[in-house]
């Protein structure tokens, strides 16, 4: 049985309380100076005492943080109430602010051939509280000037990416609740949040007509514009995926495409698999038929798989091909690979504290 959310627990404890109390509370959860129930001074004291007895302040019960050697990336393993573990990452971004990478599931059912999380299979989806608390975890970490590094103190979380463990669109309602909660209670704006998806077409369709789905940025993990190669890399893909994605992307860009909105295609660079001139051309044709697409090339990060990272000159050649054909393309910087915190390296083994 799914455990009750914080909101459901609060409503059960205080059935006659008005919704504005819950709003005050939700705000307090994201207030960097409030560290526990006692600190929520807008609530009457007896209520705070009761809440402290009944509802945990955060949804993780333990945490372990690893720092990359150059201290621009931190990875946390959070242990949840049922002892399942999930990983989340904090990365310095170029404006000396921080981007957090959050997980939406423990494990993942998608089994992408090159991804470590896929090897775990799906263990379970996270609740909205567990997803949103990854932000609260890093907020507290930064605020406490954690591990004595003053340069982290007071630093801001400026961006969130759903590029941790799991497939966010396979946990749609919890992700949506999380997005709405962050947008109402933090200084994050919708264009600073990116939901990365393998491309679950029925759910992509659903979000287009869901008035409650916030206008956050979307990134599609394409990895190949050629149906056969894509199916080899992403087993959930099928022959009609590319034409159907194209149809969807046109609708998405019609609804949301403007100067501030584009769609991102992520593309992991795998030596001799999807990095040839033929693949560059196929990708270019797809992108050019859509417009307002940014391509993000991701150098493959080592996992226990048969793949090799494309050589630097191959990545450069691929990028130049796209650029000369008018495609907006960048190569994603690899961060945190020394602590297995880079894209696709997140994997937790049950019962062990370390990867």
Catalytic residues: 87, 343
d(CA 127, CA 4): 9
Cβ-defined contacts of 232-238 (< 8 Å, 24+): 232/113, 232/273, 233/112, 233/113, 233/114, 233/268, 233/270, 233/273, 233/274, 234/110, 234/112, 234/113, 234/198, 234/199, 235/110, 235/111, 235/112, 235/113, 236/110, 236/111, 236/198, 236/200, 237/199
Residues 231-260 that bind ligand SAH (CB under 6 A): none
263 binds ligand SAH (CB under 6 A): no
The two three-digit tokens of residue 258, written as one number: 């403007």
Q: Decide: is 160 part of the binding site for ligand SAH (CB under 6 A).
A: no
State the Cα–Cα distance between residues 99 and 333, nearest whole angstrom: 13
- In the complex, minimum distance from the CB of residue 108 to ligand SAH, in angstroms, rounded to a whole number: 6
- 53-61, 65-73, 134-142, 195-203 -> range binding ligand SAH (CB under 6 A): 195-203
Q: Please count the other Cβ atoms lying within 10 Å of the Cβ belonging to residue 66.
A: 18
Pairing of strands 193-197, 157-162: parallel
Residue 270 DSSP class: B
Task: Name residue, tokens 């946990």.
Answer: 171
Among 112, 142, 201, 347, binds ligand SAH (CB under 6 A): 112
- Determine, following the binding rule CB under 6 A, whether residue 266 of this chain makes contact with ligand SAH: yes
- Position 114 contacts ligand SAH (CB under 6 A): yes
In the bound complex, what is the minimum distance in angstroms from residue 310's beta carbon to ligand SAH? Answer: 11
Residue 329 as a binder of ligand SAH (CB under 6 A): the answer is no
User: How many residues touch ligand SAH (CB under 6 A)?
Assistant: 17
Which region, judged by CB under 6 A, interacts with ligand SAH, from 207-215, 224-232, 254-262, 298-306?
Answer: 298-306
* SS3 at position 204: helix
Query: What's the closest the beta carbon of residue 92 comes to ligand SAH, in angstroms?
Result: 18
Tell me which stretch binds ligand SAH (CB under 6 A): 12-20, 148-156, 175-183, 194-202.
194-202
Q: Is 295 in the site for ligand SAH (CB under 6 A)?
A: no
Kindly tell me which residue out of 73, 125, 181, 197 binds ligand SAH, with binding defined by CB under 6 A: 197
Please report whether residue 264 would count as binding ligand SAH according to CB under 6 A.
Answer: no
Q: Is 146 helix (H, G, I), strand (E, B) or coil?
A: helix
Q: Which residue has the tokens 């000159």?
A: 313
- Give yes or no for residue 280 binding ligand SAH (CB under 6 A): no
Residue appearing with tokens 């932000």: 135
| Footprint on this chain of ligand SAH (rule: CB under 6 A) | 112, 114-115, 163, 167, 196-198, 221, 266, 268, 298, 300-301, 303, 343-344
């Amino acid at each position: 049985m799914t455990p009750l959310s914080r909101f459901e627990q609060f409503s059960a404890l205080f059935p006659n309380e008005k919704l504005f109390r819950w709003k005050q509370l939700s705000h307090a959860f994201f207030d960097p100076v409030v560290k526990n129930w006692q600190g929520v001074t807008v609530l009457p004291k007896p209520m705070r005492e009761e809440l402290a007895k009944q509802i945990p302040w955060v949804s993780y019960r333990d945490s372990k943080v690893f720092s990359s050697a150059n201290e621009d990336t931190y990875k946390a393993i959070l242990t949840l109430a049922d002892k399942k573990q999930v990983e989340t990452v904090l990365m310095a971004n170029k404006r000396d602010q921080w981007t957090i990478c959050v997980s939406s599931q423990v494990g993942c059912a998608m089994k992408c051939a090159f991804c470590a999380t896929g090897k775990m299979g799906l263990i379970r989806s996270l609740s909205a509280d567990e997803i949103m608390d990854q932000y609260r975890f890093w907020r507290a970490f930064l605020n406490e000037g954690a591990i004595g590094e003053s340069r982290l103190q007071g630093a801001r979380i400026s961006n969130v990416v759903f590029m941790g463990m799991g497939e966010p669109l396979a946990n749609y309602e919890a992700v949506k609740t999380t997005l709405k909660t962050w947008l109402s209670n933090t200084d994050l704006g919708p264009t600073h949040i990116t939901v990365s998806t393998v491309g679950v077409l029925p759910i992509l369709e659903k979000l287009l007509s869901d008035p409650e789905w916030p206008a956050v940025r979307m990134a599609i993990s394409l990895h190949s514009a050629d149906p056969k190669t894509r199916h080899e890399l992403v087993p959930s893909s099928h022959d009609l995926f590319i034409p159907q994605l194209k149809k969807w992307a046109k609708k998405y860009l019609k609804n949301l495409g403007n100067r501030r909105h584009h769609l991102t295609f992520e593309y992991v660079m795998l030596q001799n698999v999807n990095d040839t001139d033929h693949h560059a051309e196929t990708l270019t044709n797809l992108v050019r038929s859509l417009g307002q697409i940014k391509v993000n090339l991701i150098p493959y990060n080592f996992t226990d798989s048969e793949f090799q990272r494309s050589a630097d000159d191959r990545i450069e050649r691929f990028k130049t091909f796209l650029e000369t054909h008018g495609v907006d393309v960048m190569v994603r910087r690899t961060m945190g690979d020394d602590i297995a915190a880079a894209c696709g390296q997140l994997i937790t083994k049950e019962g062990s504290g370390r990867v």
